[in-house]
Structure 1
Amino acid sequence: MRLTALFLLLALPVMANPAPDIVVLGEVHDNPDAHLGQAAALRDLRPTAVVFEMLSAEDAARADADRSQSADAWEASGWQDFPIYAPIFDALGEARIVGAAASREVVRSVYSNGAAALLGADAARFGLDEALPEDQHQLRMQMQFEAHCEAMPIDMMAGMVAVQRYRDAVFARAALNALETYGPPVAVIAGNGHARTDWGVPAMIARAAPEITTRAIGFVEEDTNMPLDEIRIVPRARRDDPCQSLTSK
Protein backbone atom coordinates (compact mmCIF):
# COMPACT_ATOMS: atom_id res chain seq x y z
CA MET A 1 0.00 0.00 0.00
CA ARG A 2 2.75 2.40 0.91
CA LEU A 3 4.69 1.59 -2.28
CA THR A 4 1.56 2.14 -4.35
CA ALA A 5 0.92 5.50 -2.68
CA LEU A 6 4.55 6.52 -3.22
CA PHE A 7 4.35 5.54 -6.90
CA LEU A 8 1.20 7.60 -7.37
CA LEU A 9 2.82 10.60 -5.66
CA LEU A 10 5.90 10.40 -7.88
CA ALA A 11 3.72 10.05 -10.95
CA LEU A 12 1.94 13.33 -10.31
CA PRO A 13 3.13 16.22 -12.52
CA VAL A 14 5.50 18.65 -10.87
CA MET A 15 3.72 21.96 -10.50
CA ALA A 16 5.83 24.95 -11.48
CA ASN A 17 5.90 27.94 -9.21
CA PRO A 18 3.18 30.41 -10.19
CA ALA A 19 4.34 33.36 -12.23
CA PRO A 20 4.88 36.60 -10.32
CA ASP A 21 2.24 39.27 -10.70
CA ILE A 22 4.72 41.66 -12.33
CA VAL A 23 7.97 40.78 -14.12
CA VAL A 24 10.46 43.56 -14.86
CA LEU A 25 12.64 42.76 -17.87
CA GLY A 26 15.71 44.98 -17.74
CA GLU A 27 17.88 45.80 -20.73
CA VAL A 28 20.89 47.53 -22.18
CA HIS A 29 19.03 49.84 -24.53
CA ASP A 30 21.26 49.52 -27.61
CA ASN A 31 21.91 45.78 -27.34
CA PRO A 32 19.91 43.69 -29.86
CA ASP A 33 20.60 40.46 -27.96
CA ALA A 34 19.07 41.93 -24.81
CA HIS A 35 15.86 42.54 -26.73
CA LEU A 36 15.90 39.02 -28.18
CA GLY A 37 16.17 37.77 -24.61
CA GLN A 38 13.28 39.95 -23.50
CA ALA A 39 11.20 38.67 -26.43
CA ALA A 40 11.88 35.07 -25.44
CA ALA A 41 10.90 35.86 -21.84
CA LEU A 42 7.64 37.41 -23.03
CA ARG A 43 6.78 34.32 -25.07
CA ASP A 44 7.31 32.18 -21.98
CA LEU A 45 5.42 34.55 -19.67
CA ARG A 46 2.48 35.36 -21.98
CA PRO A 47 1.60 38.54 -20.08
CA THR A 48 -1.75 40.25 -20.19
CA ALA A 49 -0.05 43.63 -20.67
CA VAL A 50 3.44 45.01 -21.27
CA VAL A 51 4.46 48.38 -19.85
CA PHE A 52 7.08 50.20 -21.91
CA GLU A 53 9.50 52.74 -20.48
CA MET A 54 9.87 54.19 -23.97
CA LEU A 55 6.27 54.90 -24.96
CA SER A 56 3.96 57.62 -23.72
CA ALA A 57 0.40 56.64 -22.89
CA GLU A 58 -0.75 58.21 -26.17
CA ASP A 59 1.87 56.48 -28.34
CA ALA A 60 1.21 53.16 -26.61
CA ALA A 61 -2.54 53.47 -27.16
CA ARG A 62 -1.92 54.05 -30.86
CA ALA A 63 0.23 50.91 -31.14
CA ASP A 64 -2.20 48.92 -28.99
CA ALA A 65 -5.13 49.80 -31.21
CA ASP A 66 -3.26 48.92 -34.40
CA ARG A 67 -0.06 46.88 -34.15
CA SER A 68 0.92 47.96 -37.66
CA GLN A 69 1.40 51.44 -36.17
CA SER A 70 4.01 50.26 -33.65
CA ALA A 71 7.04 51.51 -35.57
CA ASP A 72 5.44 54.92 -36.19
CA ALA A 73 4.41 55.21 -32.54
CA TRP A 74 7.95 54.28 -31.52
CA GLU A 75 9.47 56.99 -33.70
CA ALA A 76 6.94 59.51 -32.38
CA SER A 77 8.13 58.70 -28.87
CA GLY A 78 11.62 59.94 -29.74
CA TRP A 79 13.35 56.59 -29.25
CA GLN A 80 15.61 55.25 -31.99
CA ASP A 81 16.38 51.81 -33.42
CA PHE A 82 12.92 50.30 -33.61
CA PRO A 83 14.24 47.32 -35.65
CA ILE A 84 16.19 45.99 -32.64
CA TYR A 85 13.04 46.32 -30.49
CA ALA A 86 10.78 44.74 -33.13
CA PRO A 87 11.23 41.19 -31.72
CA ILE A 88 9.62 42.38 -28.49
CA PHE A 89 6.56 43.57 -30.37
CA ASP A 90 6.48 40.32 -32.36
CA ALA A 91 6.40 38.40 -29.06
CA LEU A 92 3.52 40.34 -27.47
CA GLY A 93 0.79 37.96 -28.54
CA GLU A 94 -2.48 39.26 -27.13
CA ALA A 95 -0.79 41.44 -24.49
CA ARG A 96 -1.96 45.02 -24.28
CA ILE A 97 0.63 47.76 -24.86
CA VAL A 98 0.90 50.29 -22.03
CA GLY A 99 3.06 53.41 -22.08
CA ALA A 100 4.73 54.92 -19.02
CA ALA A 101 7.06 57.56 -20.49
CA ALA A 102 6.76 61.11 -19.20
CA SER A 103 7.18 64.03 -21.56
CA ARG A 104 10.45 65.92 -21.68
CA GLU A 105 8.67 68.94 -20.22
CA VAL A 106 7.50 66.95 -17.21
CA VAL A 107 10.93 65.41 -16.67
CA ARG A 108 12.58 68.84 -16.84
CA SER A 109 10.14 70.16 -14.26
CA VAL A 110 11.34 67.52 -11.77
CA TYR A 111 14.59 69.50 -11.50
CA SER A 112 12.78 72.64 -10.40
CA ASN A 113 9.66 71.32 -8.65
CA GLY A 114 10.80 67.97 -7.27
CA ALA A 115 9.60 64.44 -7.90
CA ALA A 116 6.93 64.48 -5.18
CA ALA A 117 5.19 67.54 -6.60
CA LEU A 118 5.03 65.96 -10.04
CA LEU A 119 3.62 62.66 -8.82
CA GLY A 120 1.00 64.44 -6.74
CA ALA A 121 -1.26 62.40 -4.48
CA ASP A 122 0.69 59.21 -5.17
CA ALA A 123 4.01 60.63 -3.94
CA ALA A 124 3.69 59.21 -0.42
CA ARG A 125 2.54 55.84 -1.78
CA PHE A 126 5.88 55.45 -3.54
CA GLY A 127 8.02 57.18 -0.95
CA LEU A 128 8.80 60.29 -2.95
CA ASP A 129 7.74 62.50 -0.06
CA GLU A 130 10.77 61.27 1.89
CA ALA A 131 14.42 62.12 1.36
CA LEU A 132 16.75 59.26 0.52
CA PRO A 133 19.12 58.04 3.21
CA GLU A 134 22.26 60.14 2.83
CA ASP A 135 24.53 57.20 1.99
CA GLN A 136 22.17 56.01 -0.73
CA HIS A 137 21.79 59.54 -2.08
CA GLN A 138 25.56 59.98 -2.33
CA LEU A 139 25.98 56.57 -3.95
CA ARG A 140 23.33 57.29 -6.54
CA MET A 141 24.83 60.69 -7.33
CA GLN A 142 28.22 59.06 -7.86
CA MET A 143 26.68 56.42 -10.12
CA GLN A 144 24.98 59.11 -12.21
CA PHE A 145 28.26 61.04 -12.35
CA GLU A 146 30.06 58.01 -13.74
CA ALA A 147 27.21 57.13 -16.10
CA HIS A 148 27.48 60.63 -17.56
CA CYS A 149 31.21 60.21 -18.16
CA GLU A 150 32.12 62.57 -15.29
CA ALA A 151 31.58 65.35 -17.81
CA MET A 152 29.29 67.50 -15.64
CA PRO A 153 29.63 68.81 -12.08
CA ILE A 154 28.64 66.16 -9.59
CA ASP A 155 26.28 68.63 -7.90
CA MET A 156 24.08 68.41 -10.99
CA MET A 157 23.54 64.72 -10.36
CA ALA A 158 21.07 65.36 -7.51
CA GLY A 159 18.48 66.39 -10.09
CA MET A 160 19.17 63.27 -12.11
CA VAL A 161 18.66 61.10 -9.05
CA ALA A 162 15.32 62.83 -8.49
CA VAL A 163 14.35 62.15 -12.11
CA GLN A 164 15.29 58.48 -11.71
CA ARG A 165 13.13 58.17 -8.59
CA TYR A 166 10.24 59.87 -10.38
CA ARG A 167 10.47 57.59 -13.38
CA ASP A 168 10.72 54.46 -11.22
CA ALA A 169 7.56 55.52 -9.41
CA VAL A 170 5.73 56.27 -12.68
CA PHE A 171 6.70 52.88 -14.13
CA ALA A 172 5.64 51.11 -10.93
CA ARG A 173 2.30 52.92 -10.93
CA ALA A 174 1.69 52.04 -14.57
CA ALA A 175 2.47 48.38 -13.86
CA LEU A 176 0.11 48.29 -10.88
CA ASN A 177 -2.64 49.98 -12.89
CA ALA A 178 -2.15 47.48 -15.71
CA LEU A 179 -2.29 44.61 -13.21
CA GLU A 180 -5.57 45.92 -11.80
CA THR A 181 -7.03 46.42 -15.28
CA TYR A 182 -5.85 43.31 -17.11
CA GLY A 183 -4.83 40.86 -14.39
CA PRO A 184 -1.56 38.99 -13.92
CA PRO A 185 1.05 38.61 -15.15
CA VAL A 186 2.20 42.04 -16.31
CA ALA A 187 5.64 42.68 -17.82
CA VAL A 188 7.69 45.88 -17.74
CA ILE A 189 10.31 46.70 -20.40
CA ALA A 190 12.86 49.15 -19.01
CA GLY A 191 16.55 49.78 -18.52
CA ASN A 192 18.43 47.59 -16.07
CA GLY A 193 18.73 50.47 -13.61
CA HIS A 194 14.95 50.54 -13.30
CA ALA A 195 14.88 46.79 -12.67
CA ARG A 196 17.01 47.01 -9.50
CA THR A 197 15.32 45.32 -6.57
CA ASP A 198 16.82 47.66 -3.96
CA TRP A 199 15.45 50.99 -5.21
CA GLY A 200 14.03 50.49 -8.72
CA VAL A 201 10.57 49.56 -9.91
CA PRO A 202 10.34 46.34 -7.82
CA ALA A 203 11.15 48.30 -4.65
CA MET A 204 8.56 50.93 -5.51
CA ILE A 205 5.95 48.23 -6.05
CA ALA A 206 6.89 46.51 -2.78
CA ARG A 207 6.36 49.78 -0.92
CA ALA A 208 3.09 50.71 -2.61
CA ALA A 209 1.53 47.25 -2.77
CA PRO A 210 3.46 44.72 -0.65
CA GLU A 211 1.01 41.95 -1.49
CA ILE A 212 2.04 42.05 -5.16
CA THR A 213 4.76 39.63 -6.21
CA THR A 214 7.52 40.72 -8.59
CA ARG A 215 10.55 39.28 -10.35
CA ALA A 216 13.37 41.35 -11.87
CA ILE A 217 15.37 39.84 -14.72
CA GLY A 218 18.33 41.82 -16.00
CA PHE A 219 19.78 41.27 -19.47
CA VAL A 220 23.34 42.49 -18.98
CA GLU A 221 26.60 42.40 -20.92
CA GLU A 222 28.75 41.15 -18.04
CA ASP A 223 28.35 39.69 -14.60
CA THR A 224 27.24 42.38 -12.18
CA ASN A 225 26.60 43.04 -8.53
CA MET A 226 23.43 44.92 -9.42
CA PRO A 227 20.63 43.58 -7.20
CA LEU A 228 18.34 41.59 -9.49
CA ASP A 229 16.38 38.39 -9.01
CA GLU A 230 17.95 36.86 -12.11
CA ILE A 231 20.86 37.84 -14.35
CA ARG A 232 21.09 36.77 -17.98
CA ILE A 233 24.33 37.69 -19.73
CA VAL A 234 24.14 38.61 -23.43
CA PRO A 235 26.96 39.34 -25.90
CA ARG A 236 28.33 42.87 -25.71
CA ALA A 237 26.97 45.13 -28.42
CA ARG A 238 29.37 46.87 -30.78
CA ARG A 239 29.22 50.59 -30.15
CA ASP A 240 31.32 53.74 -30.30
CA ASP A 241 32.68 55.20 -27.08
CA PRO A 242 29.59 56.85 -25.57
CA CYS A 243 31.76 59.33 -23.66
CA GLN A 244 33.68 60.63 -26.66
CA SER A 245 31.25 63.37 -27.54
CA LEU A 246 31.05 64.53 -23.91
CA THR A 247 34.72 64.45 -23.02
CA SER A 248 36.47 65.38 -26.28
CA LYS A 249 37.87 68.90 -26.41
Structure 2
Amino acid sequence: MRLAALFLCFASTALADPSADIVILGEVHDNADAHLGQAEALAALRPTAVVFEMLTAEDGQRADAARDKVGKIWESGSWPDYALYEPIFDALGQARIIGAAAPRDTISAVYGEGAAALFGPDAPRFGLDLPLPADQQAARETMQFEAHCQAMPIETMGGMVDVQRYRDAVFARAALSALELYGPPVAVIAGNGHARTDWGIPAIIARAAPDVTTHAIGFVEGATDIPFDETRFVPPAERDDPCLSLTFN
Protein backbone atom coordinates (compact mmCIF):
# COMPACT_ATOMS: atom_id res chain seq x y z
CA MET A 1 0.00 0.00 0.00
CA ARG A 2 2.80 2.41 0.86
CA LEU A 3 4.47 1.99 -2.55
CA ALA A 4 1.11 2.40 -4.30
CA ALA A 5 0.42 5.58 -2.36
CA LEU A 6 3.84 6.99 -3.16
CA PHE A 7 3.38 6.13 -6.81
CA LEU A 8 0.23 8.25 -6.87
CA CYS A 9 2.17 11.03 -5.17
CA PHE A 10 4.90 11.04 -7.79
CA ALA A 11 2.87 10.03 -10.85
CA SER A 12 2.20 13.65 -11.77
CA THR A 13 5.91 14.46 -11.58
CA ALA A 14 7.39 11.69 -13.71
CA LEU A 15 10.90 12.26 -14.91
CA ALA A 16 11.08 15.78 -16.30
CA ASP A 17 13.74 14.80 -18.83
CA PRO A 18 13.45 11.08 -19.68
CA SER A 19 15.71 11.66 -22.67
CA ALA A 20 18.73 12.33 -20.43
CA ASP A 21 21.62 9.91 -20.88
CA ILE A 22 22.32 9.71 -17.13
CA VAL A 23 19.80 10.34 -14.37
CA ILE A 24 21.16 10.92 -10.86
CA LEU A 25 18.73 10.06 -8.07
CA GLY A 26 19.79 11.71 -4.83
CA GLU A 27 18.68 10.54 -1.41
CA VAL A 28 18.72 10.93 2.34
CA HIS A 29 20.29 7.61 3.19
CA ASP A 30 18.07 6.60 6.11
CA ASN A 31 14.78 7.86 4.68
CA ALA A 32 12.54 5.01 3.50
CA ASP A 33 10.26 7.37 1.55
CA ALA A 34 13.23 8.71 -0.42
CA HIS A 35 14.06 5.16 -1.48
CA LEU A 36 10.46 4.48 -2.47
CA GLY A 37 10.61 7.62 -4.61
CA GLN A 38 13.84 6.44 -6.22
CA ALA A 39 12.21 3.07 -6.92
CA GLU A 40 9.26 4.74 -8.61
CA ALA A 41 11.62 6.85 -10.71
CA LEU A 42 13.60 3.77 -11.75
CA ALA A 43 10.42 1.92 -12.73
CA ALA A 44 9.48 4.83 -15.00
CA LEU A 45 12.98 5.26 -16.40
CA ARG A 46 13.78 1.58 -17.05
CA PRO A 47 17.55 2.15 -17.11
CA THR A 48 20.06 -0.17 -18.72
CA ALA A 49 22.32 0.03 -15.65
CA VAL A 50 22.24 1.50 -12.16
CA VAL A 51 25.38 2.77 -10.44
CA PHE A 52 25.31 2.50 -6.64
CA GLU A 53 27.31 4.67 -4.26
CA MET A 54 26.89 1.96 -1.63
CA LEU A 55 28.47 -1.03 -3.39
CA THR A 56 32.11 -1.55 -4.30
CA ALA A 57 32.88 -2.65 -7.84
CA GLU A 58 33.42 -6.20 -6.58
CA ASP A 59 30.17 -6.25 -4.60
CA GLY A 60 28.34 -4.79 -7.58
CA GLN A 61 29.58 -7.62 -9.80
CA ARG A 62 28.53 -10.19 -7.20
CA ALA A 63 25.09 -8.61 -6.82
CA ASP A 64 24.61 -8.39 -10.59
CA ALA A 65 25.46 -12.07 -10.99
CA ALA A 66 23.32 -13.28 -8.06
CA ARG A 67 20.24 -11.10 -7.63
CA ASP A 68 18.85 -13.44 -4.96
CA LYS A 69 21.89 -12.76 -2.77
CA VAL A 70 21.85 -8.96 -2.95
CA GLY A 71 20.58 -8.64 0.61
CA LYS A 72 23.41 -10.70 2.05
CA ILE A 73 26.00 -8.82 -0.02
CA TRP A 74 24.49 -5.53 1.13
CA GLU A 75 24.53 -6.41 4.81
CA SER A 76 28.28 -7.04 4.66
CA GLY A 77 28.75 -3.27 4.26
CA SER A 78 28.08 -0.38 6.62
CA TRP A 79 25.02 1.22 5.03
CA PRO A 80 21.51 1.34 6.57
CA ASP A 81 19.50 -1.89 6.58
CA TYR A 82 18.88 -3.53 3.22
CA ALA A 83 15.13 -3.36 3.86
CA LEU A 84 15.29 0.38 3.21
CA TYR A 85 16.89 -0.18 -0.20
CA GLU A 86 15.03 -3.32 -1.23
CA PRO A 87 12.34 -1.40 -3.19
CA ILE A 88 15.12 0.03 -5.37
CA PHE A 89 16.42 -3.41 -6.26
CA ASP A 90 12.86 -4.66 -6.84
CA ALA A 91 12.44 -1.87 -9.41
CA LEU A 92 15.63 -2.58 -11.37
CA GLY A 93 14.13 -4.95 -13.90
CA GLN A 94 16.93 -6.05 -16.23
CA ALA A 95 19.22 -3.15 -15.36
CA ARG A 96 22.79 -4.09 -14.63
CA ILE A 97 24.06 -3.42 -11.10
CA ILE A 98 27.26 -1.35 -10.97
CA GLY A 99 29.18 -0.70 -7.75
CA ALA A 100 31.20 2.52 -7.49
CA ALA A 101 32.17 2.77 -3.82
CA ALA A 102 35.89 3.22 -3.27
CA PRO A 103 37.52 0.83 -0.77
CA ARG A 104 38.28 2.32 2.63
CA ASP A 105 42.03 2.07 2.21
CA THR A 106 41.77 4.07 -1.02
CA ILE A 107 39.69 6.75 0.69
CA SER A 108 42.25 6.95 3.49
CA ALA A 109 45.05 7.34 0.96
CA VAL A 110 43.30 10.31 -0.65
CA TYR A 111 44.07 12.33 2.49
CA GLY A 112 47.80 11.86 2.13
CA GLU A 113 48.28 11.58 -1.63
CA GLY A 114 45.47 13.66 -3.05
CA ALA A 115 42.48 12.84 -5.24
CA ALA A 116 44.33 13.11 -8.56
CA ALA A 117 47.05 10.64 -7.58
CA LEU A 118 44.53 8.02 -6.48
CA PHE A 119 42.21 8.55 -9.44
CA GLY A 120 44.80 7.80 -12.10
CA PRO A 121 45.73 9.19 -15.52
CA ASP A 122 42.19 10.41 -16.27
CA ALA A 123 42.32 12.86 -13.37
CA PRO A 124 42.65 15.94 -15.65
CA ARG A 125 39.61 14.90 -17.66
CA PHE A 126 37.55 14.90 -14.46
CA GLY A 127 39.06 18.11 -13.14
CA LEU A 128 40.93 16.58 -10.22
CA ASP A 129 44.28 18.07 -11.23
CA LEU A 130 43.07 21.61 -10.52
CA PRO A 131 42.39 23.31 -7.19
CA LEU A 132 38.88 24.50 -6.52
CA PRO A 133 38.13 28.23 -6.66
CA ALA A 134 38.91 29.71 -3.25
CA ASP A 135 35.29 30.61 -2.47
CA GLN A 136 34.05 27.13 -3.35
CA GLN A 137 36.84 25.49 -1.35
CA ALA A 138 35.93 27.56 1.71
CA ALA A 139 32.22 26.89 1.32
CA ARG A 140 32.77 23.16 0.99
CA GLU A 141 35.07 23.02 4.01
CA THR A 142 32.42 24.82 6.06
CA MET A 143 29.76 22.38 4.87
CA GLN A 144 31.93 19.41 5.84
CA PHE A 145 32.58 21.00 9.24
CA GLU A 146 28.86 21.34 9.86
CA ALA A 147 28.11 17.86 8.50
CA HIS A 148 30.59 16.41 10.99
CA CYS A 149 28.91 18.27 13.86
CA GLN A 150 31.93 20.58 14.29
CA ALA A 151 33.56 17.66 16.11
CA MET A 152 36.75 17.71 14.05
CA PRO A 153 39.18 20.61 13.57
CA ILE A 154 38.16 22.72 10.63
CA GLU A 155 41.77 22.51 9.41
CA THR A 156 41.13 18.84 8.56
CA MET A 157 38.16 19.61 6.33
CA GLY A 158 40.35 20.15 3.26
CA GLY A 159 40.98 16.41 3.25
CA MET A 160 37.24 15.77 3.51
CA VAL A 161 36.66 17.96 0.46
CA ASP A 162 39.34 16.03 -1.45
CA VAL A 163 37.56 12.78 -0.60
CA GLN A 164 34.22 14.19 -1.75
CA ARG A 165 35.73 15.33 -5.04
CA TYR A 166 37.35 11.93 -5.51
CA ARG A 167 34.14 10.06 -4.84
CA ASP A 168 32.09 12.30 -7.14
CA ALA A 169 34.61 11.70 -9.93
CA VAL A 170 34.57 7.93 -9.36
CA PHE A 171 30.76 7.89 -9.55
CA ALA A 172 30.84 10.00 -12.70
CA ARG A 173 33.42 7.73 -14.32
CA ALA A 174 31.39 4.64 -13.45
CA ALA A 175 28.25 6.17 -14.93
CA LEU A 176 30.04 7.13 -18.15
CA SER A 177 31.54 3.65 -18.42
CA ALA A 178 28.09 2.09 -17.95
CA LEU A 179 26.68 4.43 -20.58
CA GLU A 180 29.35 3.34 -23.05
CA LEU A 181 28.82 -0.36 -22.29
CA TYR A 182 25.04 -0.56 -22.06
CA GLY A 183 23.66 2.60 -23.65
CA PRO A 184 21.21 5.14 -22.23
CA PRO A 185 19.63 5.73 -19.88
CA VAL A 186 21.90 5.00 -16.93
CA ALA A 187 20.83 5.81 -13.36
CA VAL A 188 22.96 6.67 -10.33
CA ILE A 189 21.84 6.12 -6.74
CA ALA A 190 23.80 8.42 -4.42
CA GLY A 191 23.40 10.91 -1.60
CA ASN A 192 21.96 14.31 -2.34
CA GLY A 193 25.36 15.93 -1.88
CA HIS A 194 26.67 13.92 -4.80
CA ALA A 195 23.64 14.72 -6.98
CA ARG A 196 23.94 18.50 -6.75
CA THR A 197 24.30 20.12 -10.14
CA ASP A 198 26.81 22.84 -9.26
CA TRP A 199 29.78 20.66 -8.25
CA GLY A 200 28.55 17.07 -7.88
CA ILE A 201 28.28 14.22 -10.36
CA PRO A 202 26.38 16.22 -13.03
CA ALA A 203 29.03 18.96 -13.09
CA ILE A 204 31.87 16.47 -13.35
CA ILE A 205 30.14 14.60 -16.19
CA ALA A 206 29.61 17.91 -17.99
CA ARG A 207 33.34 18.52 -17.79
CA ALA A 208 34.47 15.01 -18.69
CA ALA A 209 31.90 14.31 -21.42
CA PRO A 210 30.21 17.54 -22.57
CA ASP A 211 27.94 15.75 -25.05
CA VAL A 212 26.40 13.52 -22.37
CA THR A 213 23.14 14.83 -20.91
CA THR A 214 22.21 14.48 -17.25
CA HIS A 215 19.19 15.05 -15.05
CA ALA A 216 19.55 15.20 -11.26
CA ILE A 217 16.64 14.64 -8.89
CA GLY A 218 17.02 15.40 -5.20
CA PHE A 219 14.77 13.61 -2.71
CA VAL A 220 14.80 15.97 0.25
CA GLU A 221 13.05 16.31 3.60
CA GLY A 222 12.49 20.06 3.49
CA ALA A 223 13.53 23.35 1.98
CA THR A 224 17.07 23.23 0.63
CA ASP A 225 19.51 25.44 -1.21
CA ILE A 226 21.16 22.45 -2.88
CA PRO A 227 20.69 22.85 -6.64
CA PHE A 228 19.06 19.97 -8.55
CA ASP A 229 17.32 19.81 -11.90
CA GLU A 230 14.29 18.60 -10.00
CA THR A 231 13.47 18.52 -6.28
CA ARG A 232 11.03 16.10 -4.69
CA PHE A 233 9.95 16.33 -1.07
CA VAL A 234 9.52 13.34 1.22
CA PRO A 235 8.40 13.19 4.86
CA PRO A 236 11.30 13.51 7.31
CA ALA A 237 12.49 10.23 8.78
CA GLU A 238 12.47 9.77 12.53
CA ARG A 239 16.03 9.61 13.79
CA ASP A 240 18.13 10.43 16.82
CA ASP A 241 20.42 13.43 16.67
CA PRO A 242 23.58 11.97 15.06
CA CYS A 243 25.75 14.56 16.79
CA LEU A 244 24.87 13.18 20.22
CA SER A 245 26.93 10.05 19.66
CA LEU A 246 29.58 11.45 17.32
CA THR A 247 32.99 11.59 18.96
CA PHE A 248 36.49 11.83 17.55
CA ASN A 249 39.76 11.01 19.30
**Shared topology, TM-score over 0.5?**
yes
Residue in 2 that maps onto 1:42: 42
Are positions 1:79 and 2:79 aligned together? yes
- Conserved 8 A contact 2:202-2:214: yes
Could you say which residue in structure 2 is the equivalent of 1:3? none
TM superposition shift of 1:245: 1.1
Question: Displacement of 1:225 after TM fit?
Answer: 1.3
Cα separation, partners in 2 of 1:189 and 1:17, compared to 1, 3 Å? closer
Amino acid in the other structure paired with 2:90: D
One-letter amino acid matched to 2:228: L
More displaced stretch, 67-76 vs 81-90 = 67-76
Question: In the alignment, what sits opposite 2:70?
Answer: 70
Q: How does 1:119-130 map to 2 (within 5 A)?
A: 119-130=119-130
Q: Tell me if structure 1 keeps the 8 A contact 2:18–2:45.
A: no
In 1, the alpha carbon distance for the partners of 2:173 and 2:139 equals 25
Secondary structure, in 3 states, of the residue corresponding to 2:212? coil
CA deviation after TM superposition for structure 1 residue 70, in Å:
0.5
- Structure 1 residue 78, shift from structure 2 partner: 2.9
Q: Does 1:88 align with 2:78?
A: no
| Matches of 2:150 and 2:87, distance apart in 1 | 34
| Closer, same or farther: CA 17–164 of 1 in aligned 2, 3 Å | closer
Alpha-carbon distance between aligned partners in 2 of 1:75 and 1:123, rounded to the nearest angstrom: 32
In structure 1, the partner of 2:113 is 113
CA distances 1:48-94 after superposition (whole Å, capped 9, x unpaired): 00000000111111111111010111122332310010000000000
Distance 2:226 2:79 in 1: 25
Contact 1:47 1:187 in 2 (8 A): yes
Whether the 8 Å CA contact 1:42–1:91 is kept in 2: the answer is: yes
Opposite residue 160 of structure 1, the aligned amino acid is M
Structure-2 residue corresponding to 1:226: 226
CA RMSD of aligned residues (A): 1.3
Question: What is the CA-CA distance between 1:246 and the residue it aligns to?
Answer: 2.4
Of 83-92 and 71-80, deviating more is 71-80
Partner of 1:244 in structure 2?
A: 244
> Which runs of 4 or more aligned residues in structure 1 lie more than 6 Å from their structure 2 counterparts after TM superposition?
none
Retained in 1: the 8 A contact 2:30–2:80? Answer: no
Is there any run of 5+ residues in structure 2 with no aligned partner, and where?
1-15
Larger radius of gyration: 1
SS at match of 2:72: helix
- For the residue of structure 2 that corresponds to 1:98, the secondary structure is strand
Q: What's the counterpart of residue 159 of structure 2?
A: 159
Partner residue of 1:33? 33
In the aligned structure 2, how far is the partner of 1:23 from the partner of 1:121? Answer: 26
Mapped partners of 2:17, 2:235: distance in 1? 29
Letter in 1 for 2:185: P
Contact 1:56 1:77 in 2 (8 A): no
Give the Cα–Cα distance (whole angstroms) in 2 for the partners of residues 17 and 69 of structure 1. Answer: 33
Gaps in structure 1 of 5+ consecutive residues: 1-15
Number of matched pairs: 233
Tell me if structure 2 keeps the 8 A contact 1:149–1:247: no
- Give 1:193's aligned residue: 193
TM-score, structure 1 length as denominator? 0.91
Name 2:180's counterpart in structure 1: 180
Matched AA of 1:222: G
